Amino acid sequence: MDRDRRAYPDPYVRTADEKDLGELVDLERICFTTDRMSRRSFARFLKRPDTARFLVLADEGNVAGYALALLHKQRSSARLYSIAIAPRLSGRGFGRILLREMERVVGREGWHRLRLEVRADNLAAIALYQSEGFQEVDRLPRYYADHMLAIRFEKLLPCAPGT
């Protein structure tokens, strides 16, 4: 995954870099009304390849989606911290593409599970995660800033280093 868009049809997935910061912040503002990541948080995650995997969906040279996974060396699981797709591309399968690519990336690096939390009222995301083999493992009351319940999902990954 490199930044040279000439090598890929639109949209395509690549590793995020610091040049994406402004577009990531703009996308966050468009996609989320609560619990948004700050510019500072995005900048920090972009600078931490040892503890984070950050992918973007590029469309016509612009950031149209992202997926961020956090890695904990003491655990065998990676955590899908956030995923977003621009509303203009919503419902076209690009969230699934980002999710599968993140699974491939972290599985290849040896992580055995991918975990995530999702708002209980985000039915589209819940349906996506369930259709991709994620299993509900917990419910977290008052998890979000607006006190919405979160559902924690987990998926075992094939964990095939080097693939």
**Domains of the chain, earliest start first:** 5-156 (3.40.630.30)
Residues 6+ away with beta carbon under 8 Å from 85: 31, 57, 64, 65, 94, 95, 98
Can 117 be counted among the known catalytic residues? yes
Catalytic option among 117, 132, 136, 154: 117
Per-residue pLDDT band at 49 (split at 50, 70, 90): confident
Can 129 be counted among the known catalytic residues? yes
Q: What is the pLDDT of residues 70-115, one digit of tens each?
A: 998 777 789 999 999 998 888 888 999 999 999 999 999 989 999 9
What pLDDT sits at residue 5? 47
Catalytic option among 12, 129, 136, 143: 129
In angstroms, how far is CA 93 from the centroid of its own chain? 14
What pLDDT sits at residue 133? 97
pTM attached to this predicted model: 0.88
CB 77 within 8 A of CB 34: no
